[in-house]
Amino acid sequence: MHRVSKIVPPKRQILKDISLSFFPGAKIGILGLNGSGKSTILRIMAGVDTEIDGDAIPMPNLTIGYLEQEPKLDPEKTVRETVEEAHSELLTVRKRLDEVYAAYGDADADFDALAAEQAKLEAIVFAQDGEDLDRQLEIAADALRLPPWDAKIGPLSGDPVDAVCTVKALQPEMKMTGLGGTPLAMGDSALVETAGIEIVLISLRNQAMGTDLFTQLGCDLAAKKLIVVKSSQHFYASFSKYAKHVIYAGAPGVVTIDLNTLPYKKIRRPKWPLI
């Protein structure tokens, strides 16, 4: 990048006269306040944002990978199908290699041609460590805490919420009191505050059951005028003692008050409680 500047409407200048270059193999982190241009620099480096003043030229023969903050994904695909898009060429080669192996059993198989193609395909797989791809995908999915492989991408709970938050407490591998007093893992958790509202964030998907979900992070429920929990019904025993009134609210998602709002495609009707 050489003397790069970026202005967004109406006349806000995000970047001004920025020059950057890196040694091959260097690991670089970009730090800055919200709105300071971190994501903009990454989009420019990836070649996604080309409406700039100055020059942004990648090294010749360089392969660029870019993970957007809010990527546009196909809602009909599964999590695994979406992740595998990054390795589509390698997976195509592996599929063709399996076909070549199977073709050896054909009565009129051309063994010389099959052997030549097999050697070519195996060289590609070996060069890209393709035999270990499945294990690499599992490691990545675990590190990113992705949903199950067969889960659909399409969200039922609405779009993510962007907010500027103050982190008030952190708790690694937090546990909450679940049904019958059994500890329930919530994963790495945090208490954050935005616009005067305290919010508990958890890493593992579970509904709120025990008040210690809040209190062990320092959130004083007795001092709150309004407590909102994401739970179907198991919250009542613990949380009702803090409230004069309990109001049930419907929201998008798979656990909803009205099951008729879910986009069932294969279920046979009638089926209680569906109509």
Within 10 angstroms of residue 197's Cβ, the number of other Cβ atoms is 12
In angstroms, rounded to a whole number, what is the distance separating the alpha carbons of residues 185 and 204? Answer: 7
Cβ pair 187, 203 in contact under 8 A: yes
The pairing of strands 53-55 and 166-177 is unpaired
The kind and range of the H/E element at 198 are strand 197-201
In angstroms, rounded to a whole number, what is the distance separating the alpha carbons of residues 1 and 115? Answer: 47
pLDDT for the residue numbered 75: 80
Cα distances from 74 to residues 29, 77, 158, 253, 254, in angstroms, run: 30, 6, 15, 18, 19
Cα distances from 183 to residues 206, 212, 214, 220, in angstroms, run: 12, 11, 15, 21
pLDDT for the residue numbered 27: 86
Structure tokens, 272? 């209680």
Radius of gyration of the chain (CA): 26
pLDDT for the residue numbered 96: 93
Q: Give 247-254 contacts, CB < 8 A, sequence gap 24+.
A: 251/157, 252/156, 252/157, 252/158, 253/156, 253/157, 254/156
In angstroms, rounded to a whole number, what is the distance separating the alpha carbons of residues 209 and 132? Answer: 41
| DSSP state letter for 75 | T
pLDDT for the residue numbered 15: 87
pLDDT for the residue numbered 61: 83
| DSSP state letter for 269 | S
| Tens digit of each residue's pLDDT, the chain (275 residues) | 899 998 877 788 888 898 988 888 888 888 887 777 888 888 898 888 888 899 988 888 888 888 777 777 888 888 888 888 888 889 899 999 999 999 999 999 999 999 999 999 999 988 888 888 888 889 888 887 787 888 777 766 666 778 889 999 999 999 998 877 888 899 999 999 999 999 999 988 788 999 999 999 999 999 999 999 988 778 888 888 888 888 888 776 666 677 677 766 777 777 666 65
Least Cα distance to 275 among 253, 260, 255 occurs for 260
Phi and psi at residue 194, to the nearest 5°:
-145, 130
Domain locations in the chain as residue ranges = 2-55, 79-143, 166-261
